Amino acid sequence: MTESGEKEFLGFLPGGRESREAWEQFLTHLVRRGLDPKAVKLVISDGCPGMIRAIRTIFPYSDHQHCLFHKMSNLRAKCPRSEWPLIKAKIHKIYFALNERNARENARAFIKEYKDIFPRLVDCIKKDLDSCIAYMKHPFRRWRHIRTTNLIERGFKEVKRRVKVMETFPTEESCIRILYNLLRLQNEIWEGKPIASF
């Protein structure tokens, strides 16, 4: 996404795993094609460790935002179902606070209250707190757009829908050609339609 709110797929490479090496290869590919690593202000990703390490290597000047949708799913798995509504509300006070200072204060209070009751959940919050509230360093008007990977996931959803009917590709080259055209089509759909007030 650009500073003006324009959405665009920048590239893709075929790959079989989400290792650090595979992600570094992809991000380096984008840099070689002209993406300035110093111009990248924020990278949003799920919790893939290989991707996170690659982001820190290739885009050391950017902030990294852990997708809050993925993070909440991960935290939910560490909490008894009966306790989740209350815990979720308290976690929301951390991740959706009005500013970074309040988020950190709410995190400290949560950790103190639940460290002995739900140690795995508390460890998970502590481990990624900085990357879960990184979006708060950016203009408030952008927050709801930059705290999850939802925008790109919606774009992928359409690609997956079209690819699913094909089941398999005869060759890697045919896969690349079809994916290129699907992503190009998605870029055309997005073109000239920036996020309002971004």
CA 59 to each of CA 28, 35, 37, 175, 182: distance values in angstroms, whole numbers, following the listed order: 10, 10, 5, 28, 27
Residue-level pLDDT at 13: 85
Between 159 and 53, the higher pLDDT residue:
53
Q: Please indicate, yes or no, if residue 124 is contained in any of the structural domains.
A: yes
pLDDT tens-digit map of 167-191: 788 888 988 998 899 999 999 999 9
pLDDT tens-digit map of 55-111: 999 999 999 999 999 999 999 999 999 999 999 999 999 999 999 999 999 999 999
Q: Please indicate, yes or no, if residue 94 is contained in any of the structural domains.
A: yes
Q: Please indicate, yes or no, if residue 93 is contained in any of the structural domains.
A: yes
How many Cα atoms sit within 13 Å of 8 on the Cβ side?
A: 14
Residue for token pair 């509300």: 89
pTM equals 0.88
Looking only at the bridges linking them, the beta strands covering 42-45 and 63-66 are: parallel
> How many domains does one find in the chain?
2
Q: Please indicate, yes or no, if residue 7 is contained in any of the structural domains.
A: no
What letter does residue 34 receive in the DSSP assignment? T
Same-domain status, 122 and 159: no
Measured in degrees and rounded to the nearest 5, phi and psi for residue 66 equal -80, 125
User: Which residues constitute the domain of residue 181?
Assistant: 150-191
Q: Please indicate, yes or no, if residue 145 is contained in any of the structural domains.
A: no
Q: Please indicate, yes or no, if residue 1 is contained in any of the structural domains.
A: no
Same-domain status, 122 and 154: no
Q: Please indicate, yes or no, if residue 134 is contained in any of the structural domains.
A: no
Sequence-distant (6+) residues with CB within 8 A of 166 are: 178
Q: Please indicate, yes or no, if residue 115 is contained in any of the structural domains.
A: yes
Residue for token pair 């606070």: 97
